[in-house]
Chain A
């Protein structure tokens, strides 16, 4: 992750994936063009879980090693996680509106992702409220671990909740997307594109946060 990820490659893959998403992939039989939002939704969802998992693993590594670099990783990826989970939720609701007629369906995954987003918003504001760097790193690492293990718990509770309160508006047979080879290929490419975008943004965020830390240290020394 420390090695440079040349922006040119990221850009090229993403332009290719945009082309495949919007032009190359054929319209879907039932939904026409509107299904294309899934090409953004699915990769964003994957990336937001990836980001929060990085925060989780970095938190563990920070507690084990005490190396502040891991804290930088945790902080940077939590912010990106927030960004991508927001995108996931927005594109998800657009898709839900198109497929099922409602923006919000209390789908367990949807619900768990929303709780996750709120949790990490709390995490970020918690970080901002502690000024001593070591202390902030240590305590927020514990929080980072706790938040992540609460995800499956929220998810299973939501499953239980939804099975008890079925949405009356939902068709009992779930809508299934006919996965044709071109659609699958476009999805793979956009997965790759958004993942690369994430890696690049992660690298940039790391640098920015590193610089901010450096500047803060310098100001204190003065």
Chain B
């Protein structure tokens, strides 16, 4: 029985989140072909964008942040498709519904799982796009990682939410792009802008507006979901 208050509740919330994340990652590792296809797709999309721009385009450096984030967006669509829909397909969603944990813990666990999966893709995409498009980040490495991670986290929370909404839709995965893309510009545009500035060697001050927007996005969306997500999870 879990009837705790304050700190105890936070601890058990985090423990639930951790369990769900661990379970999903374990499933993902056992099903290697999915990670493989995500990673291959990441490299391919990167390459395709390079083809679209052309090898000797003088503005290639300016396109780089856009190419990077478009590739991340591409793989995100693949990742979103599995988050909740797989639980429905395998009939295990009721297991999550029956667990005496909060709906927010389920969403947080799923968001972090998406985040890990996408970060894995980003680890591949970022260096490969740096080589293909011939650019480097001339800023503090830690800042670059932070900006990328924040952007990916924003995408993950939107993606796992949309994935949870589409599990009720009869067209399932088909709905994911058309529902998530209109929600995404609010975080994608700042991410692209900040990445572009960082490639040109910007400091924290220069990318502060973008970081603030992305943090605001995260807070606003999580606040709304904190209240509404239980309506999505429980039928």
Q: Do chains A and B touch in the complex (CB under 8 A)?
A: yes
Across-interface contacts of B187 in A (CB, < 8 A): 153, 157
**Closest Cβ of chain A: how far from B87's Cβ, in Å?**
16
Does B89 have its Cβ within 8 Å of any Cβ on chain A? Answer: no
Residue of A nearest to B185 (CB): A154
Chain B contact surface mostly: helix
Whether A142 lies near B217 (C-beta < 8 A) is: no
Expressed in whole angstroms, the Cα–Cα distance for A153 and B190 within the complex equals 10
Q: Most chain-B CB neighbours within 10 Å: which of A119, A146, A149? A: A146
Whether A146 lies near B183 (C-beta < 8 A) is: yes
Whether B182 lies near A142 (C-beta < 8 A) is: no
Whether B193 lies near A160 (C-beta < 8 A) is: yes
Does B181 have its Cβ within 8 Å of any Cβ on chain A? Answer: yes
Whether B235 lies near A142 (C-beta < 8 A) is: no
| Residues 127-154 of A contacting B (Cβ, < 8 Å) | 129-131, 135-136, 138-139, 141-143, 145-147, 149-150, 153-154
Does A214 have its Cβ within 8 Å of any Cβ on chain B? Answer: no
Residue of A nearest to B161 (CB): A146
Chain A interface bracket (under 10, 10 to 19, 20 to 34, 35 or more) = 20 to 34
Residue of B nearest to A117 (CB): B182
Contact (A126, B185) CB under 8 Å given A149-B224, A153-B213, A160-B190:
no
Does B201 have its Cβ within 8 Å of any Cβ on chain A? Answer: no
Expressed in whole angstroms, the Cα–Cα distance for A147 and B189 within the complex equals 17
Whether A157 lies near B178 (C-beta < 8 A) is: no
Whether B235 lies near A147 (C-beta < 8 A) is: no
Expressed in whole angstroms, the Cα–Cα distance for A168 and B18 within the complex equals 50
Whether B232 lies near A119 (C-beta < 8 A) is: no
Whether B165 lies near A139 (C-beta < 8 A) is: yes
Does A118 have its Cβ within 8 Å of any Cβ on chain B? Answer: yes
Whether B170 lies near A161 (C-beta < 8 A) is: no
Listed by A's residue number, 8 A-B pairs whose Cβ atoms lie within 8 Å are A63-B228, A142-B165, A146-B161, A146-B224, A150-B183, A153-B216, A157-B189, A160-B189
Listed in ascending order, the chain A residues whose CB lies under 8 Å from chain B are 63, 115-116, 118-119, 121-123, 125-126, 129-131, 135-136, 138-139, 141-143, 145-147, 149-150, 153-154, 156-158, 160-161, 164
